[in-house]
Structure 1
């Protein structure tokens, strides 16, 4: 049940945006073993002056920030695998590795609510201890 936000400083076509979201989702499926239909992804595009990242003048802007909120419990190896999977899959759709920044924020399941109850009170359909 991770919730992902992808933020960029350049325009992409609708197809490119979907490919970027699909790449991040596929990385989560591979590394965190979430179900393929567990998709909570947002894509935000900012005007360059609204997202400062220290880009050198004249350099093409591929900066991509991936923020993932998820349940706590994944191993360090699973997290390392996630970071690798994300950059490899984004690279395959044209975003260079050095343009990708990833922030993983973890919370215990009791801090997430859905349908009026805590996530810790219902069957998630997948194991968070990978």
Structure 2
């Protein structure tokens, strides 16, 4: 049940916001092997004067922060990074402009339906 936040500068996405969100969701599906109905992706666009980035990055620089249950393998993380980069290539986002940050949380520290997530059958594996 990853919770994903995409942050970037306003302007380059235009009216394709939902398309970018769906592209990142597809990257999550391929990389983490979560079910399609597992969706929590938000997009935040910043004005130019409210975000700085490394000088050698372009206008499409973005940070994707994914909070997820701990336990994914290095191979799953590699698939995730590659899948997101592949999906964002359709928007001409250079791989150098993509930063993905994973924040791993033990399921006991994630509340769902009023209980800790480790007490719920999620219907899919975390340790992929």
TM over 0.5: yes
Distance in 2 between residues matched to 1:29 and 1:88, nearest whole Å: 13
* Alpha-carbon shift at residue 10 of structure 1 (Å): 2.5
* Alpha-carbon shift at residue 84 of structure 1 (Å): 0.7
Number of aligned residues: 127
Distance in 2 between residues matched to 1:120 and 1:74, nearest whole Å: 15
Q: Give per-residue Cα distances to partners, 1:88-122, cap 9 Å, x unaligned.
A: 11011221211111101101100100221000111
What does residue 13 of structure 1 align with? 14
The answer to whether the 8 Å contact 1:5/1:41 transfers is: yes
Give the TM-score, by structure 2 length. Answer: 0.93
* Alpha-carbon shift at residue 5 of structure 1 (Å): 0.1
Match of 1:110 among 86, 108, 111: 108
Structure 1 stretches of 4+ with a deviation exceeding 4 A read none
Q: Which runs of 5+ in 2 are unaligned?
A: none
Mapping of residues 31-46 of structure 1, within 5 Å = 31-46=31-46
The answer to whether the 8 Å contact 1:19/1:93 transfers is: no
Q: Give SS of 2:65's match.
A: strand
Distance in 2 between residues matched to 1:22 and 1:48, nearest whole Å: 24
Distance in 2 between residues matched to 1:62 and 1:55, nearest whole Å: 13
Question: Does residue 121 of structure 1 match 2:119?
Answer: yes
Q: Which runs of 5+ in 1 are unaligned?
A: none
Mapping of residues 1-130 of structure 1, within 5 Å = 1-11=1-11, 12-14=13-15, 16-55=16-55, 60-130=58-128
| Aligned-CA RMSD value | 1.3
Give the TM-score, by structure 1 length. Answer: 0.92
